Each structure stands twice: as structure tokens, then as C-alpha cells.
Structure 1
């Protein structure tokens, strides 16, 4: 029987889950506009300032460590609701924090929300999306992250503008939040998307594949029927998931002892952590200081960084439209090849800029090229692959393990990049990033199957030695 997905309904579910990505991006980026104010108000040392910036990463590692197990036991929807609550608590707590330690606590709580949503939102999308457009829909999550980054920058800019006006001056409380200590408003405004996320989550169903695995067959059939507009199709989808589940009777942790299952888990960990060492976070987080090392003023460096952010968003939109047509692996081959060339040229720029008098505009072009190739390949592909390459029964646990690797890599890059820049110099740092692209490319080429257009059950069959072949 022909399957006719209800595309508008599936798009609605995907957009709701993708709001988690916006919160991820906003919470991560909003901190940049508050550092100097918070440091001045609480008289922070350099170490304390670094802890204020990085403490959310600890929360993310904690959140991602528990999210998979919680989502396998209680469902994807409930964990997304929990993350919305954590984001809301963090936003309100940061806005009213009376001490540095309170502020750190609420930042860690928000980080836990980031860690949870970073694996559960794309996982939910992958489990409701038809195979033909699954890549594009999961990519909505990555797009939402980039929009969250820009949203935070724009909100910080707007609130700083308000602080220079007479608006809210008549109210002592509002005057404190929007004028004297505007960082409170910057962190507190996250309550708006967090509350919206919580409300709209109440109107979406639980993942039908999770319902099947947890023997809630009637509910699963109902959800599949809404997704595919046919009761017969709903029953067929349930039978397909049940048939696959019957082949794996072990528990989640028991399945990990199976070498055929452990293999994709280890491969997911590898591409998650390697992707962080290919330079993208160093460019996004340390871009202004890198530009300043090329001789730009602080203002020009920030302007260049905004352009980097815009290219990141626009390219992610492009990736969203082509990822299912081109395929995951071809995007990686194209994008990572371009990343290697861009990184090598950036390395050469810093090595020979003084010798050859290379203009700073040349560096901007190379950075924009690098961001283009990154956004259209590894950034667009990573959450798609991680959300679809694991067996149904252990998808939550496996994504927690991969997510832990991703956040560990993010933490290490954040800590090591200043050391790299100081000891290797910008030229050596970008050369190192270029070299790290090769093992990533090899794993995608030799070890990961092409998943575009394949159902989650077909992909699961691949790891068990039957069904689709690697491409």
C-alpha cells in the first residue's frame, strides 16, 4: 500500500522539537554580552570569569549523561518538557540571582537543559519523520541553533540600546534589570522561548517508535495514523517496528555488549568528538580575538564575526534543502574537502601575512568559505546521523553516549584553543584543525552507511549484517 505522509503535521512536530535547538543556541551565545558586566559587578578574577562562561558546559555534560536513559524509560516528550522547565528555571534564576554562586548554579541548570535537548530533540524528529525527508527535518534543529545564536546577539544589542534610553526608569525594579544591571534582562529573556517550548510541547504526541518499544501499541497506531493519514499504514508501521524489536530482546545495556551494536556506538562517539577538533567552535567562539591577531580593531573584528554568523545561518538553510537529495556522505566529502583547503589557506595567511602583506579582507573571505563548507557538511550532518544510526531499543542511550563525547570535545576545544593560539600560533592552530579533518573523512567513507532515504529499521538492519550496503 502506498504511504502518504501528513507532511504539514510532521513539519509542525519537527518545528516544535526544533525550538529546543533555538534555546540551545540562545543559552550558549547570550553569555557573550554579559561577561564584562557580570565580571565588574561581582569583581571576578580571570579564573572566576572563565568558570562563569564555562560552567554551563558542566551542566550540559550532566544533562546529556542522563537524557538518553530518561528518554528511553519515560519518553522523548517528557524529557523535552523537563528541559523546557530547566531552561525556565535557569532564566528566572539568573535574572534574580543575588550572588555569583547563585548565578553559577542557575547557569549549570540551564546547561543541563542544553545537554538534554541536544540529543532528545533531533532524536524525536528522526522518529516521526518519513525517511525521504528525515535529513531535512532533523536539520531544522541545527538551523534553529544558528538562529538562536543570532537571536541572542540581537537581543543583547537591543537590550543595550534600551539601557541607554529612559524606558522603565520610573520603576526601581525594572530600572535595575533594564538599566543598572542589564545582564539580568539578557539572561532572563530566555524565559520567553522556554515557556513557549513548554506550552507547544503539550500539544504534540509521544514518539510512536518509543510507544511501540514500550508496548503502548494502541497509542502508537494512533500516532502513526496521524503521521501517515491511513489506519492501515499506521498498523503497518507498528508491525515494522515490532518485527525489528523482536530481533533484539536484550536490555539497552545488554545490547551494548553485542559487537554489532557497539560498533555504531563507538563510531558515533568518534565522529562526535572529532567534529569538535576541526575548528568550527574555535572560529565561532574565538573569532574576534583571532581577527584581532590579524591586525583588525575590536569593532571591525566583531563586525566580521557577525558576517560569519550570517553565513552560518544561510548555509544551514541551504543544507536543509539538499541533505536528503544529495545524501549525508556526499555532503561530508564536499564540505570537509573545502574545510581542509580553507584551513590550510588560513594557516598560510597567518604564516605569510607579514611577509607578503596580505590584506585582512583575504582572511575574512577564507573564514567565510570555511564556515560555508562546515555548515553545509559536518554541522548539518552530525545531528542527523546520530539521530538515525542507532537501533530503536538503544537510541536514547546511544545518543547520550555520543552526546557526552560531543560535549566533552566542545569543552576540550574551548580549553585548548587559547593554548593552541599562544603556543602554536594561529598558523599552527589552523594547520592542526586541517589535519583532524582526515580521520573524520575516513570514518565517514569506510565505516558509516549512507542513510538518506532509508527507514530507521533498514539502517538498523545494516548494523546487524543484512539489508542496505555501505556506499
Structure 2
């Protein structure tokens, strides 16, 4: 038995949830409900009121100019409304890095709600002002909110969680995104807010999750790594780490962060500049980070170009062909959101057991298979072959499940695990930019792909999934169970860098305690047998 001063936690103890796990879970929920939840929610709620908003555009134009718009003109203005969201997301992704560095991870998420509230006011007053342009501006601001949160939130989670929970906690961003999609579909039902008189309230309902975050997140600490390495405030770091761990700050975890701080200071000293966060341009110029950048850029682009969002486009048509009554299709569509939510929860349970690389490559490989089957089913369905509508229906759910199982969540974790503290904000800026540009291109090109290729419209997505599976399988090392130094050594080989990196002076039992791949999932955090929660906060 170890004495109090020599206590070494055992492996069983590290995977068992305790009071600190519940505090961390509440921090995650508070940040995510106003973070990546908003991304999923806002891409979902815009579908239900499409015809109502198009009618509002035409009526407003008729009242303003005395002449109505033709269908192509209404479609063009609707395209501007839809495209404003990814454009705002791109701007938000570029703002996320500077915000995270100057204001911190937590405060950036809180400030980010200002875009959301202004957008909600614009939507609620657009009818009174008789201006459809206010909807375009509102969707742009909502996109900015999503662009910031999609970058800052995974950064916040990755830096706040202990290593044996880091993958599962970071993957919870994907769980809340899928939950947002599902909730947006539910709230958009005609029985709730998906009606002509209430569509403005539907679009403004995203203010409620933002308000919940504003009321709850200030009670939780900022990222300990940000407080120590970026701000140099060791006392604040110790306090934050102690709260997140439910007691005193773990000595070994502090030593690890201090070593990373010293390494960054030494690197800055050797380069003759002050230790500060890097810029995207400095990442591109650094030959030691080229393999990491290629991996992140490819993964972020593939996540949007793989066709998962486009398959929702076919859902209503396939449900109708399968014999589902038109008035019931909205309820069947909710099943697609529920499928992605189920897959993300399952992946959250598997990520620390199976690993990041296998989930990512496996997800794209399965999507390749379903793309082939889906194309064959659509072709035979158009030729009147019986039963093909049901095969297409199965492909819709299988494709969404495969996406949620791997690419949806693993992609957002990668920058947090393969870049150090100084490079991480810039890496998320690059990843977010590629993601939003890809989403914008897909939204603009997909109608032309459908009209040009018809039943073969998913062949481009097959190519994207195949190339992504092969490329990431060859370039991405498994990060489960490895420290940042160990991951960097593997990338150094791909970058052609030959140099030795000092290993941390950590004894074996303690090293196991802080491994990234310790089998545990975020869903176990709430199952807490520990002491009364009130005493922890």
C-alpha cells in the first residue's frame, strides 16, 4: 500500500468516473449546447420553411416594386440565403483563431453568441421591415457563430480533458452536432414551428441554446493549457485544473504542461522571436508541419465533399417513392437525423477502443460501398424495377450511419491531437476554412451535378470517399494512446525530419494514467458514483 505522499493511481482507478468527471461533463454540455449544437441546428431548421420564405421574398418584392419575381429569380435569392451560412462560417473560422488566442477558449464561445442574438433580432423583425435582405444578413451572422464554435469548442475540449478522456470528450462535439440536426428537424415539424405564421420564430429559436450557454458557461473554468502556456498564469491554471479534476491539480499533468511551455519558449528563443501563437501562413512555411497540414486539410475537405449533406436532398424523394404518404415524410426525415445521432454516440463509445484512424478510414470505406449500391438502386428505380425504392431507402440510412460513425467526429479531433499549443489555433483556422469553402462549393455545384449526371450524381462522392480513405490510411498515424511528442515523431518521418525529442520523465504507472487511448467514453461521465456534486463546484 502506498503512503499518502507516494500515492500512484492504478489503471482501474483512471477509467472509473469520479466527481471530477461529472464537472467535466457539465462543462462539455454547457459549451456544446451553444457551440456545435448550433451548427447542426441551424443547417437543419432552414429546410422546413423553404416554401414560406420563398413566398415572403416574392410578396415583399411585389409590394416594393409592383411586379413579382419569376421562379428562377426567387430561386436565386433563396440560393443567396442558403449560401450566406457557409460564407459566414468561413469568416467565423478565420476569426476563431485570433479570438481563441486573445480572449481564451471559454470567453470566445461566450462572445460568439452576440452574432447569434443579432441574427435572431433581424429574423424576428424582417416581416415588420418587409425586407428579405435581413434574412440573408441573419444567416450570414449565424454562419459566423457556427464557424467560430466549430473551431474553438474542440480546442477547448481537447485542452480541458484528461488524456484518457480526450478523444471521447472531443468527439462529443460531433454528438452535439448530430443532436442539433435532430432537434432542428423536430422543431421544424408542422405541429410545432414549421408553419407559415411561425417560420420567423423557427429561425430565431437558435437564440435559446445561446442563452442557456450564457447563463451556465461562466461558472466553469477556461482551458488550463491556455491559461498556462498562452497567458503564463500558472495560478489560474492550477485553479482551473483543480476544478476540472475535482480537487487538487494533478502534479504529473502540470509537469507535462510546464514541459510543453518550456519547449515552446526554447523554440521561440532559438528562432529569435517571442513565444506566441502561430499564424496560418507560418504553418505553411514550416516544413516540420507539412504532413500534419496535408492530413488536416484533406480530412476537413473530405468531410464536406463526401456527400452526406447531399443525401438529405434525396431523402424526401426516396421516402415518397417507398410509399410513405407526403404528410408523413417530415416524420420519416427525422429518422435520418436520429441515425446520425445514434452513429455519433456509438462512435463516442468506440473511439478510445478502436482508434481514430480505423474509424475515419472505415467510415469512408463503408460510404464508398453504399455509394455504389445507391447509384445502382437509383438507376434501377428509374427503370421501374420493383423494390429498388426500399433499397435506396436503406442506402440513405446506411450512408448517414457510416458518416456519423467516423468522419463526422474524428475530423474535428485531429488538429487538437497533432498540433501543439502554439500551432493549434492556426491549424483550426486552416481546417475550418477548408471545411466551409468545401461546403459552399458543394452547395453551389450539387444542383448542376444532379441535372448533369442524374441517377449517377453520387459517383463524384464515391471518388471523394475512395481517395480520402486511401490518402488518410497512408498518411494518418494512429493517435490513440500516444502523447503529442510521440505523434510528432511519427509525422517527422513523413516530413523527412530527423531529430531526437526528449521523452517526459514519467514513471510507467503514471504514464498509463495519462494515455490518450485509455478506454473510456464521454457517455460514462454522467454515471458518477462519487461524492455530492454540490461540493465539487
Asked whether the two chains share a fold, i.e. TM above 0.5, the reply is: yes
Q: Which moved more, 1:346-355 or 1:196-205?
A: 346-355
CA drift of 1:297 comes to: 6.6
- 1:338 and 2:338 aligned: no
- Equivalent-residue separation in structure 2 for 1:200 and 1:52 (angstroms): 32
- Equivalent-residue separation in structure 2 for 1:364 and 1:181 (angstroms): 32
How big is each residue's C-alpha offset from its partner over 1:90-124, in whole Å with a ceiling of 9 and x where there is no partner? 12221122211122212211111011001111111
Unmatched tracts of structure 2, length 5 or more: 1-6, 59-68, 494-499, 504-537
Q: How does 1:65-464 map to 2 (within 5 A)?
A: 65-97=94-126, 98=129, 99-157=131-189, 160-161=190-191, 181-214=197-230, 215-228=232-245, 229-231=247-249, 232-233=251-252, 235-249=254-268, 251=276, 252-253=278-279, 254-289=282-317, 298-299=326-327, 302-353=330-381, 354=383, 356-426=385-455, 428-456=456-484, 458-460=486-488, 462-464=490-492
Q: In 2 relative to 1, CA 458–266 (structure 1 residues): closer, same or farther, beyond 3 Å?
A: same
Pick aligned residue for 1:10 from 9, 24, 30: 24
Q: How does 1:16-27 map to 2 (within 5 A)?
A: 16-19=30-33, 20-27=35-42
- Equivalent-residue separation in structure 2 for 1:348 and 1:153 (angstroms): 29
CA drift of 1:357 comes to: 3.2
SS at the partner of 1:59?
Answer: helix
CA drift of 1:440 comes to: 1.0
CA drift of 1:35 comes to: 1.8
- Equivalent-residue separation in structure 1 for 2:80 and 2:318 (angstroms): 22
- Equivalent-residue separation in structure 1 for 2:302 and 2:83 (angstroms): 20
SS at the partner of 1:56?
Answer: helix
CA drift of 1:81 comes to: 1.0
Q: In 2 relative to 1, CA 58–361 (structure 1 residues): closer, same or farther, beyond 3 Å?
A: same
Q: TM-score, normalised by structure 1?
A: 0.88
Q: In 2 relative to 1, CA 2–255 (structure 1 residues): closer, same or farther, beyond 3 Å?
A: farther
- Equivalent-residue separation in structure 2 for 1:185 and 1:15 (angstroms): 24
- Equivalent-residue separation in structure 2 for 1:454 and 1:7 (angstroms): 21
- Equivalent-residue separation in structure 1 for 2:141 and 2:167 (angstroms): 30
- Equivalent-residue separation in structure 2 for 1:295 and 1:278 (angstroms): 28
Q: TM-score, normalised by structure 2?
A: 0.78
SS at the partner of 1:424?
Answer: helix
CA drift of 1:59 comes to: 0.8
- Provide the residue aligned with 2:65 in structure 1: none
How big is each residue's C-alpha offset from its partner over 1:1-32, in whole Å with a ceiling of 9 and x where there is no partner? 74668322222222222211111111221111
Q: Which has the higher contact order (CA 8 A, sep 6+)?
A: 2
Q: In 2 relative to 1, CA 180–352 (structure 1 residues): closer, same or farther, beyond 3 Å?
A: closer
- Equivalent-residue separation in structure 1 for 2:303 and 2:42 (angstroms): 21
Q: Which moved more, 1:112-121 or 1:381-390?
A: 381-390
Q: In 2 relative to 1, CA 393–196 (structure 1 residues): closer, same or farther, beyond 3 Å?
A: same
- Equivalent-residue separation in structure 2 for 1:401 and 1:61 (angstroms): 10
Q: Which moved more, 1:404-413 or 1:37-46?
A: 37-46
Q: Which moved more, 1:19-28 or 1:250-259?
A: 250-259
How big is each residue's C-alpha offset from its partner over 1:349-371, in whole Å with a ceiling of 9 and x where there is no partner? 12223264343111111221111
Unmatched tracts of structure 1, length 5 or more: 164-177
- Equivalent-residue separation in structure 1 for 2:364 and 2:136 (angstroms): 37
- Equivalent-residue separation in structure 2 for 1:125 and 1:425 (angstroms): 42
How big is each residue's C-alpha offset from its partner over 1:139-191, in whole Å with a ceiling of 9 and x where there is no partner? 2111111111121121122xx4367xxxxxxxxxxxxxx98631111112222
**Conservation of the 8 A alpha-carbon contact between 1:221 and 1:234:** no
Q: How does 1:59-70 map to 2 (within 5 A)?
A: 59-70=88-99
Larger Rg: 1 or 2?
A: 2
**Conservation of the 8 A alpha-carbon contact between 2:185 and 2:337:** no
- Equivalent-residue separation in structure 1 for 2:306 and 2:283 (angstroms): 31
Give the RMSD, CA atoms, in angstroms.
2.5
How big is each residue's C-alpha offset from its partner over 1:37-93, in whole Å with a ceiling of 9 and x where there is no partner? 121123161101111222111111111111112212321112111212211221222
**Conservation of the 8 A alpha-carbon contact between 1:222 and 1:234:** no
- Equivalent-residue separation in structure 1 for 2:385 and 2:317 (angstroms): 22
- Equivalent-residue separation in structure 1 for 2:318 and 2:440 (angstroms): 19
- Equivalent-residue separation in structure 2 for 1:192 and 1:423 (angstroms): 41
- Equivalent-residue separation in structure 2 for 1:285 and 1:237 (angstroms): 48
- Provide the residue aligned with 2:507 in structure 1: none
- Equivalent-residue separation in structure 2 for 1:457 and 1:289 (angstroms): 50
